[in-house]
Amino acid sequence: MVRYPDWVCDECGREHGKRPKGNPYGATYHYGICDLCGHNTDVTEPRDWGHLRDSWKTTKHELL
């Protein structure tokens, strides 16, 4: 079973989020690792993108 991501970057949020324009109330980002693409960048919680569509499962980056 694949674990639901804790942190999502802006690019992955736009691609897989249910709310493509993000959270109209704003989001709090911090520097970390995106659980989808594995990049070190600013990340926020998936809820700020209206949670994620199932498409995230096919692009999940497995960190070694």
Predicted model pTM: 0.84
Interacting residues of 24 by C-beta distance below 8 A, sequence separation 6+? none
How confident is the prediction for the chain on average, in pLDDT?
Answer: 86
Residue 23: band (very low, low, confident or very high) from pLDDT cuts 50, 70, 90: confident
Query: Comparing 24 with 49, which gets the higher pLDDT?
Result: 49
Phi-psi group of 32: left, alpha or beta (phi > 0 → left; psi -120 to 50 → alpha; rest → beta): beta
Which of 2, 3, 6 has its CA nearest to residue 49?
6
